[in-house]
Amino acid sequence: MLHQRALGASTRHELFSARANVPTYTRHAMKGLKSTTDYRMASRALVDQVSRGLVAIQDVCDAHPELLRAARNVGAPARRACPICTLADDRAEVPRDEAESLRLVTYVFGDALKRLSGHIVWERRELDELARSYDSFMAYVVECCLVCGWNHMVESYLMGRRHAV
């Protein structure tokens, strides 16, 4: 299911973002981009459905092992808590965990990228280099919780020489 979401498939799992929560390298790269899709409203709607019991937690906390590995090893810490862990802490009436368990991982896809399509971008320098070197590709930011496995698309945007402003 993650691969469908990373490719922009329309599912009930497509979620949310806050620009402040996007890693520095993607926030800077997004300036001046023509086409950006923010999944914040979808995320909030899904979290609301989970909180009302309409969607099971196991249906949203289903991160693929490869995404969890990428989030653990190269993901940028998000500046907010996991919405599902927060929901669980609130229901259990326990103090919220302050650990940075929610991570952001950026993937790039595009025919022009050839063998680099589907790769993870580790830092801004790499993303900027790809944008200067290739005509067109999509970048997808996915958030993933290391504790519960929550994962959702945060944002997607077109990048490359053809889309520079």
- Range of 148's domain? 2-163
**Is residue 8 scored above 90 in pLDDT?**
no
* 17 SS3 class: coil
Identify the bridge partners of residue 30 per DSSP, sorted by sequence position.
none
* H helix intervals, the chain: 2-6, 24-30, 40-51, 57-60, 65-74, 83-92, 124-133
Q: What is the distance between the alpha carbons of residues 64 and 151, in angstroms, rounded to a whole number?
A: 9
Q: How many domains does the chain have?
A: 1
| Rounded mean pLDDT, 44-68 | 94
Distance of CA 112 to the CA centre of its chain: 22
pLDDT digits (tens, 9 = 90+) for 129-147: 999 999 999 999 999 999 9
Residue of higher predicted confidence among 159 and 15: 159
Query: Whose CA is closest to 6, among 149, 163, 151, 111?
Result: 151
76 exposure class (CB count in 10 Å sphere: 0-12, 13-18, 19+): buried
| 43, 31, 29, 129: CA torsion to nearest 10 | 150
Q: What is the pTM of this model?
A: 0.75
pLDDT digits (tens, 9 = 90+) for 96-122: 777 789 999 999 999 989 898 888 988
| Rounded mean pLDDT, 155-165 | 86
Residue 57 binned pLDDT confidence (cut-offs 50, 70, 90): very high
**Is residue 29 scored above 60 in pLDDT?**
no
